[in-house]
Amino acid sequence: MNVDSGLNLMAACYGAGALSALLARWSGRLALSVGHLATLAGAVVGLGVSLSVLLGVPGRTLTQPLPALFPFARLSLSVDGLSAYFLLVISLVAVAAAVYGPAYLRTYSPDAGPARQATQVLALNVFVGCMAFLCCAGDAMTFLLFWEGMTLASYVLVVSDDRDGENARAGLLYMVMAHGGTALLLVAFLVLTERAGAFDFAALRAAAGDLDGTTRTTLFFLALVGFGTKAGVVPLHVWLPRAHPAAPSHVSALMSGVMLKVAIYGLLRFAFDIIAPVAGPLPSSWGWTVLVVGTTSAVLGVLYALQQHDIKRLLAFHSVENIGIILIGVGLAMILWRREGVGGVLATVALTAALLHTLNHAAFKGLLFLGAGSVISRTHVRNMEELGGLARRMPWTAGLFLLGAIAISALPPLNGFVSEWLTFQALLGGAGRFHGPAGLVIVFSAAMLALTGGLAAACFAKAFGVTFLGRPRTAHAEHATEAPPSMIVGMAWLGALCVALGVAPGYAMRLLDAPTAGLLHGPGASAVVTARGPMVLSAGLTASGTAATAISMTMVTALLIALTAIAWVLRRGSRRGPPRAAPTWACGMSPTSRFDYTATAFAKPLRFVFATLYRPRREVIRETAGTPYVVRRIHYAGEVVDLAETQIYHRVQRGISSLSQSIRARSTGRIHGYIGFVLAALFVALLLFGVDQ
Amino acid sequence: MMTGERSLGLLLFEMTFLVLLGPLVTGIIQKIKARIQCRQGAGVLQPYRDLAKLFRKGTVQADTASGLFRLIPVLVLAATVAAGALIPVVRAGPPSFPLGDALLLLGLLALARFLTAVGALDAGGAFGGMGASREMTLAPLVEPVLMMVVFSTAVAAGTTELGALAAQRGTSWVLAWHAADFLGFAAMLVLLPAETGRIPVDNPDTHLELTMLHEGMLLEHSGPGLGCMLLASHTRQIVTLGLVSALFFPIGPANGADAAGLLLGVGAFAAKILVLASYLALVESSYAKLRLFRVPQFLGIGFVCALTALALRIL
């Protein structure tokens, strides 16, 4: 596909989708269908554009100027390997969301007015379009404009379902955090544009060439915090578990699966492409910080996810975890890149792991959010404790959710395992080459990654088991029915992606060639990871030059399938006929749904084990009848706090409140006083900055 | 084919051998336990008789279970047996075509465990939920330590492929062990009862609600399904023991493609498994089951050993 016309076509699709909100004047349902159809078309065009760049001639960058909106900056688009790869990730999930969306919105809120439907269609198209073009931005101005558009459109989607004040509060928190991050990004970019005298990335790259070390590192950390806020790394994640669940589910899938990745894109672009030193490795403080931040996010994200009962909130916390896993790979790539005698192809392995996990996480997290959305649209309940028994009522949704659960728990033979395997190999390779404390940090990071995988499996055994298995606990779950076919198709698309990327990951490595080779100026991913053919994954070469560990997911899957067939024959046994049904054993009592293990009970042992991190609060009130031995009623309340929230944000909040209080004491309400303040401030500013002119 | 590589046929033979030998190891452990407790005990072939009986029986299924429930034993057995294909049994050396490494092996075992827990929640009884909750609490504590032990040998050998790893370490015998090897092995000794579901972490002989982890999850399975689950846990046990022997005692004939070499390799493997199995039986006879919330502290010993082993390798 011609990329220039592809980009135009993509813009036209998303633009038409946004305009289709006007159709809501006649029919809200029509607006929904047409708007989502436009998103689908835009995503399919995006797929075409990205694939044609990724599979085309390597190293080619396509640039297209945009109409001049500002006198001081020329807007332009530029698509290279990295842009195309992230465009691919965005488009893959957007396809599923667009197919899934209309039916979801109609079943979830059938009484929504056309105004709300118009807003949702408009915001969805602006949101997806901004993300897609953000990755194709060729200059800082375009980048920041689309960045802001993405934030605003997602804010509108978060608060679009305003049944309670909670969504509005979540939206406000999101807005504040996102703009705090954007402010830092603005500073980072404007410092560079001021030096370069232009906005396009090539000029910034040239200007960054003669930065001194301190400025370079300061700019990097500004960008890290800015992008980290959007990506939701600990401790900047507090907005994420509130805002993501508040949006409609297919938008949650886009926010968790894709929007966080756009921040990763920004970080990679900024660190590796724009402000990296012309020669030599990146300053070592960058990579180590990213590695430690990633490890912390991975562990804390999954630990907090374990204690959630709201299924969408649980999934949102898992996004924090997975961003952490991606950052482990990114940090390792930063550490190893261009480091003589240590790095070599290992940096490529690390970056490949990070980028592959980006795609994988988009697939399985999108799938899980859509699965949760199916449940919610049928039951209108987000609390897992009120669900149960849905596997018999919604078998397709249950099966696809289980697929996503296995993938996100990094279990073979699905895609989550593949990218974590690569991360482990990169970590191990790194540990073998760094001696001393540096090696220990890497090894500790590997151990924490292993812990993360185990905890994720526990969390999803809980999430899937409590939501879909056992008996229904409420009437909502009792009367649930299967989701409409279009929603299942949306989920199945992502499920197929999980299976394909897990069983035959070698074929996906070609897609990673352009971004890895482009960023690291070294060999591409497939030259390193699939050096022994697309069926075999190997982690490059060891220090001694021998071929390192190699695995073949395809062979293992074939073995698994063959063994399953044999075990199925064994399972059928010698006796024919259907199994006899009997009630579940409950020590002779007749079981009810209250016998089922709840999510709280399931996670309780882990709450005990990790009590230091959870600080669980537990309140039991007994109502007794005169004597303590006859209990009439027990009231139980328990909660787990987010350490970042209580230790950092509440303190900041208190500080701001007390500051405001003290300012308030100076606010007399008389206009003369305020004019005096303004004059004094102006005087001081002139003294400080105006003297040399 | 390079010399020292194991062909696909040999891999399948080794996998079958592990599956067939698995119940015997359980039988031997039970026999040793019985003799230590001054009982006659059942014959060592008893687990085979149990399996044969179960596969002949019909199935009773909980009326609340979903369609997934019937599939669980099949998938669990397949995942566990597939993990068995990754263990070098007869001799060291990488497979002629790459299959999987130690991480994939642990991943397959984790998959089996995850599916077992999901199946336990399916019937909707409190026992299954309790077993699943406890198992999934201990699993995240055991798996990282197990992985660290693997790393501590893999960092030295430069690979996580078990056959290649064993071949790299081929010459090292206990006298040539580093301090890291001893510590790693100590960590493995702590982990073994946890990974095979034995005292002091779990008690395989009882369904009592105070002790059960793994057994609690099997409560609703019956007939051939239960048979599959039991065969899977026998296989899991021998796979774990095989992992220890591949990591720490990778001895056996170097190039035994002929029948004599094959026989020798099988014999050496059986001897190593027998020693480790009697260790399990001894521990099980001499200790009491730990309270559930003491188990993390017990596993902490393993964690410290493994971390020190790794640190020694890297520093």
- pLDDT tens string A60-105: 667 777 777 777 778 888 898 999 999 999 999 999 999 999 999 9
- pLDDT tens string B234-265: 999 999 999 999 888 876 655 556 778 788 88
Closest partner CB to A580 (pick from B59, B125, B225): B59
* C-alpha dist (Å) from residue B15 to A626, A686, B89, B112, B259: 66, 82, 8, 17, 18
C-alpha triplet A452, A510, A488: angle, nearest 5°: 60
What does the DSSP assignment read for A168-237?
HHHHHHHHHHHHHHHHHHHHHHHHHHHHHSS-BHHHHHHHHTT--HHHHHHHHHHHHHHHHHHHT-TTS-
pLDDT, mean over chain B: 88
Q: How far apart are CA B313 and CA A435, in angstroms?
A: 9
Q: Is the Cβ of B34 closer than 8 Å to some Cβ of chain A?
A: no
Chain A residues whose CB is inside 8 A of the B136 CB are 457-458, 461-462, 602
What does the DSSP assignment read for B198-213?
-TTT--TT---TTT-S
Nearest to A63 by CA among A138, A5, A146: A138
- pLDDT tens string B121-177: 998 888 889 999 999 999 999 999 999 999 998 888 878 888 888 887 765 566 678
Cβ pair B57:A575 closer than 8 A: yes
Put simply, the chain B residues between 182 and 221 with a CB less than 8 A from any chain A CB are 219-220
In a domain, B1, yes or no: no
Q: Is the Cβ of B312 closer than 8 Å to some Cβ of chain A?
A: no
* Residues present in chain B in total: 315
* Residue of chain B minimizing CA distance to A577: B58
Q: How far apart are CA B157 and CA B246, in angstroms?
A: 13
Q: How far apart are CA A78 and CA A269, in angstroms?
A: 12
pLDDT of residue A346: 87
Any residues with CB less than 8 A from the CB of B307 and at least 6 apart, and which?
A444, A447, B148
Q: How far apart are CA B211 and CA B15, in angstroms?
A: 32
Q: Is the Cβ of A634 closer than 8 Å to some Cβ of chain B?
A: no
Phi-psi region of B133 (alpha: psi -120 to 50; beta: other; left: phi over 0): alpha
- Residue A581, SS3? strand
Q: Is the Cβ of B4 closer than 8 Å to some Cβ of chain A?
A: no
Identify the residue among B18, B64, B72, B76 best suited for mutation to test binding to A, counting A beta carbons within 10 A and taking the highest: B64
Q: Is the Cβ of A72 closer than 8 Å to some Cβ of chain B?
A: no
pLDDT of residue B81: 97
Chain A residues whose CB is inside 8 A of the B161 CB are 549-551
Closest partner CB to A551 (pick from B62, B101, B154): B101
User: Does B47 sit behind a cis peptide bond, omega within 30 degrees of 0 on the bond before it?
Assistant: no
Average pLDDT along chain A, 693 residues, taken 10 residues at a time: 82 93 88 94 94 77 74 84 95 96 89 87 95 93 94 93 80 93 95 90 90 92 96 92 92 94 96 90 93 96 93 95 97 89 79 96 96 94 91 95 96 94 91 84 92 95 94 91 95 96 91 90 85 80 60 93 94 80 84 86 90 86 85 85 86 93 83 89 88 59
Tally C-beta pairs within 8 A across A and B: 298
- pLDDT tens string A149-183: 999 999 999 998 766 788 888 999 999 999 999 99
In a domain, B231, yes or no: yes
Put simply, the chain A residues between 473 and 512 with a CB less than 8 A from any chain B CB are none
pLDDT of residue A592: 83
Q: Is the Cβ of A466 closer than 8 Å to some Cβ of chain B?
A: yes
* C-alpha dist (Å) from residue A645 to A193, A301, B30, B235: 35, 13, 52, 46
In a domain, B294, yes or no: yes
- Residue A247, SS3? coil
Count CA within 13 A, CB hemisphere, residue A546. Answer: 12
Residue B85 near residue B11 (C-beta atoms within 8 A): yes
Put simply, the chain B residues between 141 and 170 with a CB less than 8 A from any chain A CB are 141-144, 147-148, 151, 154-155, 158-161, 164
- Residue A633, SS3? strand
Q: How far apart are CA A406 and CA A385, in angstroms?
A: 21
Closest partner CB to A563 (pick from B55, B81, B293): B81
Put simply, the chain B residues between 90 and 119 with a CB less than 8 A from any chain A CB are 97-101, 103-104, 107-108, 110-111, 113-114, 117-118
Domain count, chain B: 1
Closest partner CB to A443 (pick from B110, B151, B161): B151
Could you tell me which residue, A616 or B210, shows the higher pLDDT?
A616
> Residue B16 belongs to what domain range?
8-314
Burial of A623 (0-12, 13-18, 19+ CB in 10 A): exposed
pLDDT of residue A571: 87
- pLDDT tens string B39-63: 999 999 999 999 999 999 989 988 8
Quickly count: other Cβ atoms within 10 Å of residue B74's Cβ: 24
Sign of the alpha-carbon torsion through A338, A343, A348, A351: negative
Where are any strands of DSSP class E within A71-131? 76-79
Q: How far apart are CA B305 and CA B171, in angstroms?
A: 24
In a domain, B123, yes or no: yes
Q: How far apart are CA A367 and CA A495, in angstroms?
A: 6
Nearest to B150 by CA among B178, B110, B112, B188: B188
pLDDT of residue A562: 96
Residue A2 near residue A103 (C-beta atoms within 8 A): no
Q: How far apart are CA A225 and CA B251, in angstroms?
A: 52
Assembly ipTM: 0.95
pLDDT of residue A120: 92
Put simply, the chain B residues between 49 and 68 with a CB less than 8 A from any chain A CB are 55-68
Q: How far apart are CA B39 and CA A693, in angstroms?
A: 101
Residue B82 near residue A555 (C-beta atoms within 8 A): no
* Residue of chain A minimizing CA distance to B159: A549
Is residue B2 scored above 50 in pLDDT? no
Q: How far apart are CA A447 and CA B164, in angstroms?
A: 22
**b (16+ CB within 10 A) / e for A500-511:** ebbbbbbebbeb
Identify the residue among B111, B162, B202 best suited for mutation to test binding to A, counting A beta carbons within 10 A and taking the highest: B111
pLDDT of residue B268: 87
The strand pairing partners of A672, in sequence order, are none
pLDDT of residue A433: 80
Nearest to A16 by CA among A134, A122, A145: A122
Closest partner CB to A458 (pick from B108, B136, B220): B136
In a domain, B3, yes or no: no
* Residue of chain B minimizing CA distance to A443: B310
DSSP H helical segments within chain B, as ranges?
A: 8-36, 46-56, 68-84, 102-122, 126-157, 162-168, 179-195, 214-217, 223-248, 259-286, 295-314
pLDDT of residue A572: 85
Q: Is the Cβ of A615 closer than 8 Å to some Cβ of chain B?
A: no
- Residue A484, SS3? coil
SS3 track for A325-339: HHHHHHHHHHHHCCC
